Amino acid sequence: MFWIICAATTIIVGLAIMAPLLRGGRAAAEPVAAFDLRVYRDQLKEVERDLERGVITPEDAGRLRTEIGRKVLDADRRLSQAGTGGAGGRGMLAAALLVLLFAGAAALYLREGQPGRDDLPIMRRIADAQAAYDSRPAQAEAEAKAPPREAPEVPADYAALIQQLREAVAKKPDDPQGLTLLATNEMRLGNLTAAREAQQRLVDLRGDKATPAELVRLSALMVEAAGGIITPEAEEVLARALRKDPAHPQARYLLGMLQLQNDRPDRAFPVWRRLLEEGPEDAPWIAPIRAAIADLAWLAGQPDYVPPAAMPGPDAEAMAAAEDMSPEDRQQMIAGMVSQLEARLAQQGGTPEEWARLISSLVVIGKADHAREIWTEAQTRFASQPEALEIVRQAAIKAGLAE
């Protein structure tokens, strides 16, 4: 069916392109030549009338007949050429160009496309994604196939210190601090497998007391050591971290990456979208999310999604200056930042977290009445989004504006 549609479309478009060229000579030349013939014949009749009235002499009449006769012959010749297919050359050229373009398009598709690939309905795509998910390599296999990393140049004194650290950890393998330092420094040296092993020993040593940050770090090291693949073992560690802290941002970033690796942008998009909206803008996962979110939204069936504008917080100089301010000046600076946030939300909109922050900030700076107005506006804006409205509601409850 696809090829039939393509062929029919090509023929229709080709005929539409060729038609003006095929009739171009006749369409252009025939009307002009026929009009000229009528004019010249009228002129001959006019010469005869003028001769009968005595307006011109017989000599002038003969001269005019001869001159107009030449023009009649020329117009008749042009009309004959137009009627006998003078545009045949143009038509052949158009046909040749059309065949050439079609052949070029077919060659390009055969080279760059996948002509033998079957149609992929949504259920088939989901099944293929599940198959890719189920067939992921194990951690050991992925690490064995991972491309080698270029080792950085290491000063001799630093290399000696690392060797001492390795020996110390070997003597005291149950030292959490030593394992933490070893994992950090092995990672800096590009020894990802060694770093992953040290972090694994640390997590095993901690047992159920391993923190979400330690688990996420282990999962990230496993991904790095596996060449970027989130293996089943790395996913299991990631799941442990999320069970301890469902809001952990780096764990959620890796969760979105897992969905992307298995061709499920519909699952990755809501995870990364929420992370981008939560910020902060200087978080290390924000830049890659912001670079990919537009394409990800399109693939997830959300082509109208508009990511929030990048709004960096106060820089280091502003924070340092705030420490030296008087309470009144500091309050004024905070009020200015709140006003900027309110203006942006009014002009561009924003996330429910930003609306919640605005309500809380207005109450802090003594503008509870205005915060109540913002809360009323937020109820209207997020009326169709219960989860988003609940975030703002919680801020209003803490601020004493709602129950």
Tell me what the mean pLDDT of segment 45-67 comes to. 83
pLDDT at residue 278, rounded to an integer: 83
Under the banding of pLDDT at 50, 70 and 90, the label for residue 62 is confident
pLDDT, mean over the chain: 80
Spatial separation of the C-alpha atoms in residues 169 and 176, rounded to whole Å: 9
Out of 23-32, 57-66, 144-153, 217-226, which region has the weakest mean confidence (pLDDT)?
23-32
pLDDT at residue 324, rounded to an integer: 58
- Residue 237 pLDDT > 90: yes
- Residue 131 pLDDT > 70: yes
Question: What tens digit of pLDDT does each residue of 309-318 get?
Answer: 665 444 445 5
What tokens appear for 134 in the block?
């189920």
pTM over 0.85: no
Q: CB–CB of 186/224 below 8 Å?
A: no
3-state secondary structure the chain: CHHHHHHHHHHHHHHHHHHHHHCHHHHHHHHHHHHHHHHHHHHHHHHHHHHHHCCCCHHHHHHHHHHHHHHHHHHHHHHHHHHCCCCHHHHHHHHHHHHHHHHHHHHHHHHHCCCCCCCCCHHHHHHHHHHHHHCCCCHHHHHHHCCCCCCCCCCHHHHHHHHHHHHHHHHCCCCHHHHHHHHHHHHHCCCHHHHHHHHHHHHHHHHHHCCHHHHHHHHHHHHHHCCCCCCHHHHHHHHHHHHHCCCCHHHHHHHHHHHHHCCCHHHHHHHHHHHHHHCCCCCCCHHHHHHHHHHHHHHCCCCCCCCCCCCCCCCHHHHHHHHCCCHHHHHHHHHHHHHHHHHHHHHHCCCHHHHHHHHHHHHHCCCHHHHHHHHHHHHHHCCCCHHHHHHHHHHHHHCCCCC
pLDDT at residue 28, rounded to an integer: 47
Question: What tens digit of pLDDT does each residue of 84-113 get?
Answer: 554 455 666 767 777 787 788 778 877 776
What tokens appear for 316 in the block?
């280091």
Under the banding of pLDDT at 50, 70 and 90, the label for residue 364 is confident
Under the banding of pLDDT at 50, 70 and 90, the label for residue 214 is very high
pLDDT at residue 314, rounded to an integer: 47
pLDDT at residue 313, rounded to an integer: 47
Residue from 90, 114, 94, 92 nearest 102 by CA: 94
Question: Tokens 């560690």 map to which residue?
Answer: 237
Question: What tens digit of pLDDT does each residue of 343-356 get?
Answer: 777 766 777 888 88
Question: What tens digit of pLDDT does each residue of 171-192 get?
Answer: 998 888 999 998 988 888 888 8
pLDDT at residue 321, rounded to an integer: 55
Spatial separation of the C-alpha atoms in residues 296 and 319, rounded to whole Å: 35
Spatial separation of the C-alpha atoms in residues 218 and 212, rounded to whole Å: 10
Q: What is the CATH number of domain 139-246?
A: 1.25.40.10
